[in-house]
Structure 1
Amino acid sequence: MSDTEANAAAPKKKGGAMKWILIGTGLVVLVGGGVGGGLYAANSGLIGGSGAHAAPADADAPRLVPKSEEVRAETKGEGEEGASGGKPTPKGEGGDKYASTYYQLEKEFTSNLRESVHFVQVGVAISTPYDNRVIENLKTHELAVRSAILLALGETSEDDVFTADGKVKLQKRLAAAINGVLKEKEGFGGIGNVYFTNFIVQ
């Protein structure tokens, strides 16, 4: 009887050892997969960053400027330190998460409208939520940027310049044209918006 019990117990021990080997192997695979997935997610910006708004990994690339680091314009009156009397400027609810840096291109742009006897003359300024490197890139490649803006204006119809919706679409097309040049030249665009400082149609 004891031999029968020993024989019955032997397969159980062998099966139990195999069970522990499979569990151990499964744990190694799960831990390895978890570590690999975590490293992939961290490198791709899915975790540990701000996702689509994360600045490029390159240390020399422009970085987003938080609103807390924004340099605000000060207006000084006679005998005053500033418009707020040296006190911090109150901040309301909402607003952009990142600071905006503005830059106005010096010369205005004049172009014929597509299939029209009219022409348009515009002054253009840009804004970026990134640091001053975007503005430096824009200044470095200003000739190429001006050419891209003139090409975009030349493709503009009368409908685009006589309605508010058309002007908004034109702003987006100009921002895309400027970003296209900067991406081609520097590998990074960074222009958030285009603004018109002057807009004349004749």
Structure 2
Amino acid sequence: MSDAKTESAAAPKKKRNLLLLVGLPVLLLGGGGGAAFYGMQAGWFSATAHAEENDEPRLVPKSEEKRASAKEGGEGGHGGEGGEAPGHGGKPTPKGEGGDKYASSYYPMEKEFTSNLQDSVHFVQVGIAVSTPYDERVLENIKTHEIAIRSAVLMALGETTEDEVFTAEGKRHIQDRLAKAINGVLKEKEGFGGVSNVYFTNFIVQ
């Protein structure tokens, strides 16, 4: 008789232990899932995940562009206070139509480039500067890999013909070719190009 009572008393304890073993993890999982769901709705994880997935230079808005300032203390009206400019009767400079949506950062390559022209006794010597609408990381990458970039520019410049150096359209073709060469090096080294344009600061054919 006593054995039957002991067994009947132990049965509820086993059920309670079983419920604790099964129910507690389910409760914890439910609470954790609810917290995770709330965090996703609140945007706790999205910004971090996006930053980790997309660790690339960002486009710089025009409002953040670094502007060249007029010389301080200059005479003859090199721009007044409050955005005034000479030639507009003291009124703020009108904002023209169009314009770039993003800022432009420029980097002039220090040394000039000299290369023979294809199938010609002439050679071309150019100075170039590059521009990017992305943040300073692109310019830092250019400085870091400048030796590789100079090599790529010289190789691309070696594909230039006499017809290209004497016309404006031909020079634009050269600019495009040089931009592709520079971006090719940056993509190879850093996984991201970012150079939008190449500009000539000097152009001599001899």
What range is the shorter-chain TM-score in?
A: 0.5 to 0.7
Aligned match for 2:153, one of 143, 149, 155: 149
TM-score, normalized by length of structure 2? 0.67
The 5-angstrom pairing of residues 31-50 of structure 1 reads none
Q: Which residue in the other structure is 1:67 paired with?
A: 62
Measured on the aligned residues, the alpha-carbon RMSD in Å equals 2.0
Indicate whether 1:106 and 2:106 are aligned.
no
Aligned partner of 1:153: which letter?
L
Aligned partner of 1:74: which letter?
S
Q: Distance in 1 between matches of 2:102 and 2:157?
A: 29
Give, in angstroms, the shift of residue 93 of structure 1: 2.0
Aligned partner of 2:195: which letter?
I
Unaligned runs of 5+ in 1: 1-54
Aligned match for 2:171, one of 167, 171, 174: 167
Structure 1 residues 159 and 66, CA gap change in structure 2 (3 angstroms): same
Aligned match for 1:115, one of 116, 119, 128: 119
The 5-angstrom pairing of residues 72-87 of structure 1 reads 72-78=67-73, 83-87=78-82
Unaligned runs of 5+ in 2: 1-50, 84-91
Return the index of the structure with the highest Cα Rg. 2
Q: Distance in 1 between matches of 2:71 and 2:170?
A: 38
Q: How many percent identity over aligned positions?
A: 72
Q: Distance in 2 between matches of 1:56 and 1:201?
A: 48
3-state SS of paired residue (1:175)? helix
Aligned partner of 1:64: which letter?
L
Aligned match for 2:192, one of 185, 188, 191: 188
Structure 1 residues 116 and 124, CA gap change in structure 2 (3 angstroms): same
3-state SS of paired residue (2:180)? helix
Q: Distance in 1 between matches of 2:189 and 2:140?
A: 12
Q: Distance in 2 between matches of 1:75 and 1:154?
A: 40
The 5-angstrom pairing of residues 131-142 of structure 1 reads 131-142=135-146
Indicate whether 1:58 and 2:54 are aligned.
yes
Give, in angstroms, the shift of residue 169 of structure 1: 0.5
Residue deviations 1:44-73, cap 9 Å, x none?
Answer: xxxxxxxxxxx99523x2100010111100
